[in-house]
Amino acid sequence: MRPAFPREDLDRIVAETGDVWNTLRGSRWFVTGGTGFIGSWLLEAIQHANACMGADIDVTVLSRSPEKAVSAAPHLFQSRNISLVPGDVTTFDMNVGSVDVCIHAATDVADPVRASDYARIFDVGVTGTRRVLDAAQKNGAKHFLLTSSGAVYGTQPLTLDRIPESYSGAPDPLDHRTAYGQGKRASEWLASSYGVSHAMSVSVARIFALLGPGLPLDGPFAAGNFIRDAGRGEPVRVRDGKPFRSYLYVADACIWLLRIMHDGAGRGAYNVGSERAVSIAHLARMVAQACNLEPQSGDEIQTQGTPSRYVPETSKARNELGLSEHITLEVGLSNTINWSRMAGML
C-alpha cells in the first residue's frame, strides 16, 4: 500500500493550474492509465484540487484490476469522486457515462512482461487509442489529452543536441522493437483526425523521461533501478553508461500536461521533458551519492564512440504556454529516494 504523494508537490500543481480547475469545475473525466506512474499523479492532483479548491471533479478510471488498484492506493481509489471500471483499453465497454474530459495515458511499457510483447504494445497504441477516442466522442467529451512519447521521433541524430517537435524523423518500420514508437505515431494521427472530425479539442504531449515519487523501481527505467540498488546499499549496476538522457520531475510534468490539455489544443504536439542532458553513468553516480554510497568501480563505463541521446527541445512549451522546469535533477532524485524509503520500497 503506497502513501500519498508529497503535499508540497500537490499544492504547487494545483496552485499553478488554478484556471484549469476553475474552468472545469464540476466536470466529469475519463482516465486510462490511471494506476500508472503519470496517471496516479494526475489523479492525486485532481483529488487535491477537489479538496483545496472545491473543483468537484468526478473521475472514472479504467483499470484491468480495480481490486489491485484499491489495495495499492486506497486513499486514492476509495475517494468518493473517483470510480473504477474494469477493462482493457483494447476491449473495454465504452458506455462509461457522460464525459467532459478524457485523458488517455494507458501504456504497457512499465510492465517488464508486457513490454516484451511488441504486438500487444502496438495494439494498445493503435486499437486502444481508437477505442478510447470512440468512447470519448460517444460520451460527449470536449477535451482529449493524448500522452504520447518522444519515441515517435525514432533515433535522435548524433548531430542534434535536443530534438524539437518539428523534427520529421521516425522509428525504423522494419525494426520490431520500435512497436511503442510506431503505435504512438499512429495514435497521434488518430487523435488529430478525431479532433478535426468531431467537436473535441485534442492535445498531444510527447513525454520524455520522468522521475519522482512513485517511479517504478523494478521496471525498464534506469533511474528507478539505480535508486533501488543504491537505496538497498547495493552496487549500482550500469549496463551502458554512455547514452545521454534528461529527467523532468513528475510534479512539473503534471503541470505541463494539464496546461497542454487546457491551453494547447489544436496547436500541434508539445515535448514534455527536461533539456538538461546527463549520461547514464553520471546519473548512476548522482544516485549513489544521494544514497551516501561510494562510487563502485563497475560504475565507470567506457565512453568510446559517440553516445546516443534522448533529450527534448522544449522551447515551444516554454514560449507558448509559459511552462518551466521548477525542480532540479538533484532535488528530484532526493525527493524520489526519500519518498520511496517512506513507502517501504527501499
In a domain, 135, yes or no: yes
What per-residue confidence (pLDDT) applies to 116? 78
In a domain, 227, yes or no: no
In a domain, 219, yes or no: no
DSSP, collapsed to helix, strand or coil, labels residue 244 as strand
Domain extent for 127: 7-210+247-275+309-327
In a domain, 286, yes or no: no
Distance CA 115, CA 183 (A): 13
Measuring CA to CA, which residue among 120, 121, 278 is closest to residue 208?
278
Task: Tell me how far CA of residue 342 lies from CA of 15, 24, 71, 130, 335, in angstroms.
Answer: 25, 34, 18, 39, 11
What per-residue confidence (pLDDT) applies to 1? 87
In a domain, 149, yes or no: yes
Report the CATH number that the domain containing residue 62 is assigned in CATH.
3.40.50.720
In a domain, 106, yes or no: yes
In a domain, 283, yes or no: no
228-239 residue pLDDT tens: 999 999 988 888
Task: Tell me how far CA of residue 104 lies from CA of 33, 94, 275, 308, in angstroms.
Answer: 7, 14, 25, 29
108-142 residue pLDDT tens: 776 666 677 899 999 999 999 999 999 999 999 99
Chain centroid, CA 214 distance in Å? 11
> Residue 105 CB: number of other CB atoms within 10 A?
24
Distance CA 170, CA 118 (A): 17
Residues of the chain scoring pLDDT < 50: 297-302
Distance CA 196, CA 19 (A): 25
Number of domains in the chain: 1
What per-residue confidence (pLDDT) applies to 237? 86
Chain centroid, CA 117 distance in Å? 20
In a domain, 45, yes or no: yes
What per-residue confidence (pLDDT) applies to 110? 64
